[in-house]
Amino acid sequence: MAGRLAVVGAGLMGSGIAQVAAQAGWQVTLRDLDDAATGRGLAGIRKSLDKFAEKGRIEAAEVEATLGRITPTTDLEAAADADIVIEAVFERLEVKHEVFRALDKICKADAVLATNTSAIPVTQIAAVTERPEAVVGTHFFSPVPMMQLCELVRGYKTSDETLGTAKAFAEEIGKTVVVVNRDIAGFVTTRLISALVVEAVKLVESGVVSAEDLDTACKLGFGHAMGPLATTDLTGVDVLLHASRNIYTDTADEKFFPPELLQRMVTAGDLGRKTGKGFYTY
């Protein structure tokens, strides 16, 4: 199936998606707003591939071959000949709307337009295009080269053909797919982790338990590989705050309302591993 993929957004998620697709033989265009952003994305991909090579999981020659299939660009028009386009920009509806309005005009008629959103309903994103049947959610997990799961999300008008193409693509690049049949805010995984994190933060905030002990309880009591607060630090405290806020806005369900501690941490810049401090110090 390998064809041409365009990834819009060269951050952690976008560059990870570009990497696994290029490893699977796809020709990838990686687009961001400036050369510095695409440069950071490519440097991250090289670092990831070098680690795989050091561990013997790929041949050394595969590093350069994979990088050779990725073309960085600042021009969105470069998505014009892509079979599949995956948007991986900031998790705000207005930012995604801007990208999809442009892609709708640029992309070829039979292209699949995918969004890597983790919480925003696909129907809302697709609504600004003239082809909502061609829009689908492909929610990858971070870090993309390591995480097995891809949550495929149907919008209200997503066609069976679009869903089928997205599923074949995700499986070809080595992912296991679960299908979300209705694009409620947060889908399945973000909805579950948000509810768990909100309750976990409330328990820590009110002095019931320490962050360490809460995570230990989830690991040993429920068999979680990682506790919810360590997961929040890995994902980004700000990312979990935005996700729970998005779900709360959509549902008015109090269990998703972000606790004060989560909001204060983001205001103070304690965003988890990426800043060196979150619920834990790194």
Q: What is the reported pLDDT for 109?
A: 97
Euclidean distance between CA atoms 12 and 142, whole angstroms: 8
Considering only 161-175, 194-208, 232-246, which range has the smallest mean pLDDT? 232-246
Burial letters for 111-137: b for 16+ Cβ neighbours within 10 Å, e otherwise? bbbbbbbbbbbbbbbbebbebbebbbb
For residue 163, CA distances in Å to 25, 26, 42, 93, 172 come to: 21, 19, 29, 22, 14
pLDDT digits (tens, 9 = 90+) for 1-34: 789 999 999 999 999 999 999 999 999 999 999 9
267: pLDDT strictly greater than 90: yes
Quick check: helix, strand or coil at residue 6?
strand
Assign 185 a pLDDT band (cuts: 50, 70, 90): confident
Distance CA 213, CA 227 (A): 9
Q: How confident is the model at residue 127 (pLDDT cuts 50, 70, 90)?
A: very high
Residue 176, exposed/middle/buried by CB under 10 A (0-12, 13-18, 19+)? exposed
Single pTM value for the model: 0.90
* pLDDT: which is higher, 162 or 120: 162
Name, in order, each residue with C-beta under 8 angstroms of 221's C-beta and a sequence gap of 6 or more: none
Beta strands per DSSP E along 117-276:
135-140, 149-154, 176-180
Residue 246 pLDDT level (bands cut at 50, 70, 90):
confident
CB 243 within 8 A of CB 118: yes
Domains in the chain, please, with CATH?
4-180 (3.40.50.720), 190-275 (1.10.1040.10)
Q: What is the pLDDT of residues 56-87, one digit of tens each?
A: 999 999 999 999 999 999 999 999 999 999 99
